[in-house]
């Protein structure tokens, strides 16, 4: 079991993020937005469900996370249907539509959430692309999360539904590592986007369990 190794790695990565100046985080967000919009799933004709706009499940970055603020606005301006998470009492995630930064309201744990109607935890299964927070990813696509379990539930829900969404983690360049410690419940992502590159691991629809 690699739980202890994961905890030590998390602490080190979080320490580096906490030391980042705010202007560096903001500048990283601009570069990350450009790179993310270069994804084949978003740059070209996205194959969403017939007659609908593409749907992207994203999140509002906090603290030293790579900033998603510019990306959210660019996705929405491009006509993408953007879902944002709403944290539930049991750490599971509900979802609501992103309707602009002015419609985000403070929530617990320093989070910002949409103030619109809740769509239910299953709403994420309609996403064509799921953008995931994380602390690192390895060369095989194994994602290291923060350890809260919220996105483990999301990934399990997508798997149960047979969803074929592209799973993409957003990171800093130095957070693409040779290896990330794994536990049985961990799942792999299809790609990672950093300010300087898009890293591909597996094709959407391929088996993603760790």
More confident residue, 61 or 208: 61
What structural domains does the chain harbor?
Answer: 3-200 (3.40.50.10420)
Q: How far is CA 20 from the centre of its chain?
A: 20
Q: What rounded mean pLDDT belongs to the chain?
A: 89
Over the stretch 142-152, which tens digit does the pLDDT of each residue have? 999 888 889 99
Average pLDDT of the segment spanning 170-184: 91
What pLDDT sits at residue 52? 60
Average pLDDT of the segment spanning 154-182: 94
What pLDDT sits at residue 27? 87
Any idea what DSSP says for residue 202? S
Q: Which of 116, 97, 125, 20 is nearest to 62 (CA)?
A: 20
pLDDT over threshold 90, residue 2 = no
What pLDDT sits at residue 149? 87
What pLDDT sits at residue 206? 44
CB-hemisphere CA count at 13 Å for 106? Answer: 3
More confident residue, 110 or 121: 121
pLDDT over threshold 60, residue 110 = yes
What pLDDT sits at residue 147? 80
SS3 113: strand
pLDDT over threshold 80, residue 203 = no
Q: Are 154 and 124 in contact (CB under 8 A)?
A: yes
Task: Name which of 38-42, 51-55, 66-70 the model is least confident about.
Answer: 51-55
């Amino acid at each position: 079991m690699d739980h202890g190794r994961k905890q030590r790695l998390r602490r080190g990565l979080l320490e580096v993020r906490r030391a980042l100046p705010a202007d560096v985080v903001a500048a990283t967000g601009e570069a990350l937005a450009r790179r993310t919009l270069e994804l084949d799933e978003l740059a070209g004709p996205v194959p969403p469900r017939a007659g609908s706009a593409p749907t992207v499940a994203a999140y509002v970055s906090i603290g030293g996370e790579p900033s998603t603020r510019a990306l959210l606005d660019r996705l929405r301006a491009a006509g993408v249907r953007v879902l944002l998470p709403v944290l539930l009492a049991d750490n599971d995630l509900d979802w609501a539509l992103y309707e602009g930064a002015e419609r985000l309201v403070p929530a617990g744990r320093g989070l910002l959430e949409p103030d619109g109607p809740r769509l239910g935890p299953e709403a994420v299964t309609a996403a064509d692309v799921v953008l995931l927070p994380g602390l690192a990813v390895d060369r095989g696509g194994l994602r290291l999360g923060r350890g809260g379990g919220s996105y483990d539930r999301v990934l399990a829900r997508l798997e149960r539904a047979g969803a074929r969404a592209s799973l993409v983690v957003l990171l800093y360049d130095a957070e693409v590592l040779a290896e990330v410690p794994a536990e049985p419940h961990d799942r792999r992502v299809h790609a990672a986007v950093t300010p300087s590159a898009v890293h591909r691991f597996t094709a959407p629809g391929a088996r993603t369990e760790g």
